[in-house]
Amino acid sequence: MANPVIHFEISGSDAAGLQKFYGELFEWNVDANNPMNYGMVAASEGGIGGGIGGTQDGNPQVTFYVGVDDLQAALDRAVALGGSVAVPPMDIPDGPSIAQFADPAGNRVGLVKGM
């Protein structure tokens, strides 16, 4: 069975502004009531959930996350196919484990385990 896309993330230097923008644009309920002020967007019928937050470097990006059983194995396969590791496996406090790679064109793609 193919690995599904299970989460999206939109990030930029003004997390609150992006949360307001996308909330109003698509009528999403964005819940940023958490210690990281990360705006969680619940999955809607036929769609996937995601999040809207800030970036550490200020550069905006849109990332989708694919569910995998083994983060390191997926990163190793991405590298073998011409990609590169962007974020090594890490645990999110009270959340899943994630990693990111860059494809051969430089696009970032997220991997998630335990979601």
Instruction: For residues 29 and 23, give the distance between their C-alpha atoms in angstroms, rounded to a whole number.
Output: 6
Residue range(s) defining the domain that contains residue 109: 68-115
DSSP 19-41: HHHHHHHHT--EE--STT--EEE
Instruction: For residues 13 and 1, give the distance between their C-alpha atoms in angstroms, rounded to a whole number.
Output: 37
When pLDDT is cut at 50, 70 and 90, the band that residue 91 belongs to is very high
| Residues 77 and 22 grouped into a single domain | no
Residue 1: what pLDDT? 58
Question: With a threshold of 0.75, does the pTM exceed it?
Answer: yes
Cβ neighbours for 10, distance < 8 A, ≥ 6 positions apart = 18, 22, 50, 51, 52, 53, 62
CATH number at residue 17: 3.10.180.10
Let me know: does 90 contact 72? Beta carbons within 8 Å.
no
Convert the pLDDT of each residue in 23-56 to its tens digit.
999 999 999 999 889 999 999 888 999 999 998 8
| Residues 113 and 76 grouped into a single domain | yes
| Residues 23 and 51 grouped into a single domain | yes
| Residues 43 and 79 grouped into a single domain | no
| Residues 3 and 56 grouped into a single domain | yes
Structural domains in the chain (count): 2
62-76 average pLDDT score: 95
